[in-house]
Chains A and B, each alone.
Chain A
Amino acid sequence: MTATYADSRDKPRRPLIHRRSAIPGFGITMGLTLASLSLIVLIPLAAVGLKAAEQSPADFLHAAFNERALTAYRLSFGAAFIAAAINGVFGLLTAWALVRYEFPLKGLVNGLIDLPFALPTAVAGIALATLYAPNGWIGSLAEPAGLKIAYTPLGVVIALTFIGLPFIVRTLEPVMRDLSADVEEAAASLGAGRLDTIARVVLPALAPAWLTGFALAFARAVGEYGSVIFIAGNMPYKSEIAPLLIVIELEQYDYAGAATIAVVMLVVSFAMLFVINAVQAWARRLSA
């Protein structure tokens, strides 16, 4: 997401608008950029807002906040939050192990972390559903304990954990690598135990990156569809995520209803984008 522009955007600017640059091509490249952006992204996105606005305010509110929609948001946002939190713990440990420890097959493990970026979500979906179903490799282990994972909200959390993992690991890794050992040594030489050093020196230094990774994983998980629908069970009022509700309303030709839920989700996504940018600005001020 916007994460990666952080460093470059803050470079010292040239003092004036560089219209009379010696370099040619500003007009045509900017023109093509704005044209594609408008035609592919902005104008179609505006269609959602306009479609939703065709209804009366009462209809809009009903379509956006009826009981079924509210349960779907609760599941989408709740499961996305829990999944990001799980990744916040295990992704942190994974990144720590990758940066600080040596272990067999480390290169392979490091490459696999990006699997959720490369694997089509539908493939992840059927694989996770099969694995965590009551007769699956992992599901059959949980079954005797009375724990049902697939086809319950727990299954949604599993799928969203898969999707979010690389965001946390890959945002934490570079920060951990840059973390100077001197600071840890200083803390240790002042008498701090290892746990103390980690809790008071290492973790606070990682906090901004951790928050960024958490927000990125959460934002991605909220809108996720492909990996979730196979494992979710998709029961109305129980295990139905918000993007699925859009698909269902579309299949019933309720375009305004679908557009309304899309608007709610877009507003939340843009709010998340804003939060992520704010967290990054804060992190940069902190490190400056």
Chain B
Amino acid sequence: MSRSPDTTTDPLWARIVVLALVAVFLAGVLILPLVSVFFEALRKGLPAALEAIATEDARAAIKLTLLTAAIAVPFNVAFGLCASWAVAKFQFPGKPFLITLIDLPFSVSPVVAGLIYVLVFGAQGWFGPWLLDHDIKIVFAVPGIVLATIFVTFPFVARELIPLMQEQGVDEEEAAISLGASGLRAFWSVTAPNIRWGLLYGVLLCNARAMGEFGAVSVVSGHIRGLTNTMPLHVEILYNEYDYVGAFAVAALLCFLAVVTLVLKSVLEIAQPRSRAGGH
């Protein structure tokens, strides 16, 4: 039965009003901010922007951001695979509670995420004196930045994979194993092909957050230029020093990363249509 247009579509004037409101709203909140980053970065021309990205401090920040993501993302994948395998393929009491705990970092303010590591590893923290004696720096150093990043990205891969694996059940794996496959072999040839798109999707979002995290990293970093500055922190420093071209040039680089993430995300959503609500 075809829809009759008069009864289930809005009148033309309503459509125009709604679209106009949406356009103004999205322009003010999403589109103009995005455009303005590139505009401000190029205010003094492309060479000035490129120069800002090429300074030694900026390059150190880019390197640290890449290093952080290179540790946090694989950790997240390993954890996500373990957690989703345990949760989705087996029955045990307290499962919903465990899922809630895995999701917990999403409900914690990024600043609190940084604070907890200062309290544990800081000079006055639980392990502070011991770390000081052994000359190990965690807070205000790279390990703290990595830890804080792992905390804020903790649920990303797991929350993608758990529902996906639950949907797929255990029959295929059980069949593979009853035919003599080992557990790992069953995972590689049966589970992995089923979850690869979901896994990629989780990795993509995890990576974007890992590279872009600000609040948690800001608390544990100590803001030492060239040493413990990630790209978002470098943006903050330049901005507070009124070096707007520099701040927006590095910001534009991060924007570019965000846009690439969104494009890849759309591609993945076409590769595997999602029936459920997305988001962090």
> Which residues of A are in contact with B by a Cβ distance under 8 Å?
1-9, 11, 13-14, 16-19, 21-26, 28-30, 32-33, 36-37, 40-45, 47-48, 51, 90, 93-94, 96-97, 100-101, 103, 107, 109-128, 130-131, 136-138, 158, 161-162, 165-167, 170-171, 173-174, 181, 184-185, 188-189, 194, 197, 209, 216, 219-220, 222-226, 230, 242-244, 246-247, 250, 253, 255, 258-259, 262, 265-266, 269-270, 272-273, 277
A47 near B32: Cβ-Cβ < 8 Å: no
* With contact pairs A26-B90, A90-B25, A123-B232 given, residues A100 and B251 touching in the complex (Cβ less than 8 Å): no
* Residues on B with beta carbons closer than 8 Å to the beta carbon of A44: 116-117, 119-120, 151
B262 near A114: Cβ-Cβ < 8 Å: yes
* Residues on A with beta carbons closer than 8 Å to the beta carbon of B81: 29
* Residues on B with beta carbons closer than 8 Å to the beta carbon of A138: 28, 32
Chain B residue nearest to A26 (CB atoms) is B90
Ranked 5 nearest A-B pairs via Cβ? A223-B109, A120-B212, A188-B7, A226-B214, A225-B215
Q: Interface size bucket, B side?
A: 35 or more
The smallest beta-carbon distance between A31 and chain B, in angstroms, is 8
Residue A30 contacts which of B86, B163, B178, B258 (CB distance < 8 angstroms)?
B86
* Residues on A with beta carbons closer than 8 Å to the beta carbon of B8: 181, 184-185, 188
* With contact pairs A1-B103, A162-B33, A247-B218 given, residues A100 and B263 touching in the complex (Cβ less than 8 Å): no
Residue B101 contacts which of A16, A37, A123, A130 (CB distance < 8 angstroms)?
A37
**Residue in A90, A222, A224 with the greatest tally of chain B CB atoms within 10 Å:** A90
Residue A14 contacts which of B91, B119, B258, B279 (CB distance < 8 angstroms)?
B91
Can you list 18 A-B contacts (CB < 8 A)?
A1-B103, A5-B163, A18-B91, A21-B90, A23-B89, A41-B104, A90-B22, A93-B22, A100-B9, A101-B19, A117-B280, A120-B212, A123-B251, A223-B109, A247-B111, A259-B115, A265-B112, A270-B107
* Residues on B with beta carbons closer than 8 Å to the beta carbon of A25: 85-86, 89, 183, 187
* With contact pairs A41-B104, A247-B219 given, residues A47 and B86 touching in the complex (Cβ less than 8 Å): no
One digit per residue, 1 when the CB lies within 8 angstroms of any chain A CB and 0 when it does not, for chain B 155-187 equals: 000010011001100100110011000110011
* Residues on B with beta carbons closer than 8 Å to the beta carbon of A1: 103, 106-107, 280
**Residue in A6, A7, A24 with the greatest tally of chain B CB atoms within 10 Å:** A24
Chain A residue nearest to B235 (CB atoms) is A122
Indicate whether B51 reaches chain A with its CB closer than 8 angstroms.
no
B109 near A222: Cβ-Cβ < 8 Å: yes
One digit per residue, 1 when the CB lies within 8 angstroms of any chain A CB and 0 when it does not, for chain B 42-76 equals: 00000000000000000000000000000000000
